[in-house]
Chain A
Amino acid sequence: MLTLSPEDWTAIGVTLRLCLFTTLILLVIGTPIALWLAAGNSRLRSVVQALVALPLVLPPTVLGFYLLLALGPQGWIGGTLQRLGLDHLAFTFTGILIGSVIYSLPFTVQPLQQAFRQAGRRPLEVAASLGAGPLDRFCSITLPLARNGFVIAATLTFAHTLGEFGVILMIGGSIPGETHVLSTTIFSHAEAMNYAAAHRLSLLLIGAAFAVLFVVYLANGRRPPVVQP
């Protein structure tokens, strides 16, 4: 039943690569942000919190539009890269990767922040009094206590990137093998009235998204994951 065209397979490859890289990068960037946000309350933290949550409420096209301007040949990032003898990032895999990282940021930071808050400061104080330095405390206390938070953050980020459409279309266009992901391929199929092909990929996405969310709910002890603007 599932006979996919070579283009479809290429799109699946690009999508998986995008999801994987986005998740890995966000775990590295998101953890310190979440640690800092969980460490207290202040006006600056509220500002950062709002910025992190912004992609949840903005239309993806708005984000994509400004990223396109910034990453393109005339933008301050793309332009700088060109002056350094490099290529600008509009319509490239790196471009949509940057877009995905920003777009999925709240899906990493919020579950992690929640997990760190829940673990509380007391275990860290105890560990410090027993001679554990900051890095030791992070590895032996924070990581294991926030383990579920990491599982949830990673799966949500992965799943959310899987379903990304607007941002990618704006920054990436639809270049096969480079920026042509599942969601944009489905769009192309539908536009070309190739409903059978669109069905196949759509069903595949539904299945994959369900599987990922199922894992999240299982890990989270059957509580809904907390992601909120």
Chain B
Amino acid sequence: MTLKVSASVQYPNFTLEVNTALPTQGVTAVFGRSGCGKTSLLRIIAGIERCANAEVRFGDDIWQSGRHFLPLERRRIGLVFQEASLLPHLGVRDNLLYGYQRTPKHLRRLEPDTAIEQLGLEPLLQRKIDQLSGGERQRIALGRALLSSPQLLLLDEPLSALDAPSKRDILPYIERLASNFGVPVVYVSHAAGEIERLADHVAFMRDGQIDAVETLEQALARPDSPLFHDEGPATVLHGELHATDNAGLACFQSGSLTLRLPYSRGTMPRARLRIRARDVSLALDPPTRISILNHLPMRIQAIRPACEGRVVVEGRLADGQLLLSEISQWSCQELELTTGTLIYALIKAVSLLD
């Protein structure tokens, strides 16, 4: 099943020209700079804006085609906006139940108590709307959207107005949306970190157009990926995090790979580890007597030029996953690296995406 959108709309400062099918399994991120048309696309999908030259189909349902236009209230979409959009004249509980009460009984898939428990909203129920922090408001907005039992969740930069602690607070909930509640999510963002953590698929948007729709793995496998514009190329490994040992190190297991990292906040059944290419050095011999914790053998699959005399070396690890390393052109020549060379990747730093 897919979400098909085609639109050709002239806005004052750009033209939206889209003809695409977005996957509706898990989280599909729409990534692009501010002002590239992400929000406009979302408004067309939701039907907040009615544009003549647009067509929207969700699976077999036609939401907009020709003169047919299904209004927003009948599309069964959950919307969460950038800024807290709680209804100011209602309390926390009435906000949560606004959509639930308007959902016919046979379509309800979530009960208020479940949502309150899963999103940790119990302590907020007695509070006044204007006494809530940004993160708390977004959690309530999320719960409210879920309680209307939507077929699709559209999140428009839900974290961008939050400070770092609030982001950390709410990210795990968003992460579990697709798996726990079984709702496909379209997640609009310009933050690469959020996308690497949450997305299953990424649609890259630029100047009102969608350049590509890829799986996260594909998107991270090319060194020129727009996701890398801020921090350079990086690899994201999926795996599980095991308990901390007595040396204070946690164990990250991804397929047959094991990495150790300093982390003391318990286990995580689904974790993503981000390794920046410039944090990966290369050695021709297995390193011994070295402080770097993690070194993995890999075979070079490609060497691509990067900016300013540097190259990105793409290696395949023992279990088939890719790892990127960014080194200087000079080192690359000195070590006589070529495709097929077996080398050792020395991973100086990793970061857990949380």
Q: Are A128 and B71 interface neighbours, CB within 8 A?
A: yes
Asked if B76 CB lies within 8 Å of chain A CBs, one says yes
Q: Are A128 and B73 interface neighbours, CB within 8 A?
A: yes
Asked if B185 CB lies within 8 Å of chain A CBs, one says no
Knowing A131-B73, A131-B76, A133-B73 touch, does A126 contact B102 (C-beta < 8 A)?
A: no
Q: Are B73 and A126 interface neighbours, CB within 8 A?
A: no
Alpha-carbon distance between A122 and B103 when the two chains are bound, in angstroms: 20
Determine the chain A residues whose CB is within 8 A of the CB of B148 once the complex forms.
Answer: 129-131
Determine the chain B residues whose CB is within 8 A of the CB of A129 once the complex forms.
Answer: 46, 72-73, 77-79, 99, 145, 148
Knowing A125-B48, A125-B79, A127-B98 touch, does A132 contact B85 (C-beta < 8 A)?
A: no
Q: Tally A residues with Cβ within 8 Å of B.
A: 16
Q: Are A122 and B81 interface neighbours, CB within 8 A?
A: yes
Q: Are B89 and A125 interface neighbours, CB within 8 A?
A: no
Q: Are B72 and A125 interface neighbours, CB within 8 A?
A: yes
Alpha-carbon distance between A145 and B89 when the two chains are bound, in angstroms: 7
Alpha-carbon distance between A140 and B99 when the two chains are bound, in angstroms: 12
Asked if A123 CB lies within 8 Å of chain B CBs, one says yes
Alpha-carbon distance between A128 and B98 when the two chains are bound, in angstroms: 11
Instruction: List 5 A–B pairs whose Cβ atoms lie within 8 Å, in order of A's numbering.
Output: A125-B79, A129-B46, A129-B145, A130-B73, A132-B98
Q: Are B102 and A130 interface neighbours, CB within 8 A?
A: yes
Contact with B along A109-140 (1 / 0, CB 8 A): 00000000000001101111111110010001
Determine the chain A residues whose CB is within 8 A of the CB of B78 once the complex forms.
Answer: 129
Apart from A127-B98, A131-B74, A131-B148: 13 A-B pairs, beta carbons within 8 A: A122-B85, A123-B87, A123-B88, A126-B85, A127-B73, A128-B73, A129-B46, A130-B99, A130-B102, A130-B145, A131-B76, A132-B102, A145-B88
User: Residues of B with Cβ closer than 8 Å to A?
Assistant: 46, 48, 71-74, 76-79, 81, 85, 87-89, 98-99, 102-103, 144-145, 148
Measured between C-beta atoms, what is the minimum distance from A153 to chain B in Å? 18
Determine the chain A residues whose CB is within 8 A of the CB of B99 once the complex forms.
Answer: 129-131
Determine the chain B residues whose CB is within 8 A of the CB of A141 once the complex forms.
Answer: 87
Asked if A144 CB lies within 8 Å of chain B CBs, one says yes
Alpha-carbon distance between A132 and B73 when the two chains are bound, in angstroms: 6
Among A125, A128, A130, A132, residue most surrounded by chain B Cβ atoms (within 10 Å)? A130
Measured between C-beta atoms, what is the minimum distance from B101 to chain A in Å? 9
Which residue in chain B gives the minimum CB-CB distance to A133?
A: B73
Q: Are A130 and B144 interface neighbours, CB within 8 A?
A: yes
Contact with B along A124-167 (1 / 0, CB 8 A): 01111111110010001100110000000000000000000000
Which residue in chain A gives the minimum CB-CB distance to B104?
A: A131
Residues of A91-125 contacting chain B, CB below 8 A: 122-123, 125
Alpha-carbon distance between A196 and B32 when the two chains are bound, in angstroms: 78
Q: Are A128 and B72 interface neighbours, CB within 8 A?
A: yes
Alpha-carbon distance between A127 and B148 when the two chains are bound, in angstroms: 11
Determine the chain B residues whose CB is within 8 A of the CB of A133 once the complex forms.
Answer: 71, 73
Determine the chain B residues whose CB is within 8 A of the CB of A132 once the complex forms.
Answer: 73, 98, 102
Measured between C-beta atoms, what is the minimum distance from A122 to chain B in Å? 5
Alpha-carbon distance between A140 and B89 when the two chains are bound, in angstroms: 10
What 10 A-B pairs come out closest when comparing CB atoms? A130-B99, A131-B102, A129-B79, A128-B72, A128-B73, A144-B89, A130-B148, A126-B85, A130-B98, A122-B85
Alpha-carbon distance between A131 and B71 when the two chains are bound, in angstroms: 10
Q: Are B87 and A126 interface neighbours, CB within 8 A?
A: yes
Which residue in chain B gives the minimum CB-CB distance to A130?
A: B99
Determine the chain B residues whose CB is within 8 A of the CB of A130 once the complex forms.
Answer: 73, 98-99, 102, 144-145, 148
Q: Are A136 and B102 interface neighbours, CB within 8 A?
A: yes
Alpha-carbon distance between A125 and B89 when the two chains are bound, in angstroms: 15
Alpha-carbon distance between A136 and B98 when the two chains are bound, in angstroms: 11
Alpha-carbon distance between A126 and B102 when the two chains are bound, in angstroms: 13
Among B79, B87, B99, residue most surrounded by chain A Cβ atoms (within 10 Å)? B87
Alpha-carbon distance between A136 and B101 when the two chains are bound, in angstroms: 12
Determine the chain A residues whose CB is within 8 A of the CB of B76 once the complex forms.
Answer: 131
Determine the chain B residues whose CB is within 8 A of the CB of A140 once the complex forms.
Answer: 98
Measured between C-beta atoms, what is the minimum distance from A213 to chain B in Å? 26
Determine the chain A residues whose CB is within 8 A of the CB of B145 once the complex forms.
Answer: 129-130
Which residue in chain B gives the minimum CB-CB distance to A141?
A: B87
Alpha-carbon distance between A123 and B46 when the two chains are bound, in angstroms: 15
Determine the chain B residues whose CB is within 8 A of the CB of A136 once the complex forms.
Answer: 102
Among B46, B72, B77, B78, residue most surrounded by chain A Cβ atoms (within 10 Å)? B72
Determine the chain B residues whose CB is within 8 A of the CB of A122 once the complex forms.
Answer: 81, 85
Measured between C-beta atoms, what is the minimum distance from A155 to chain B in Å? 21
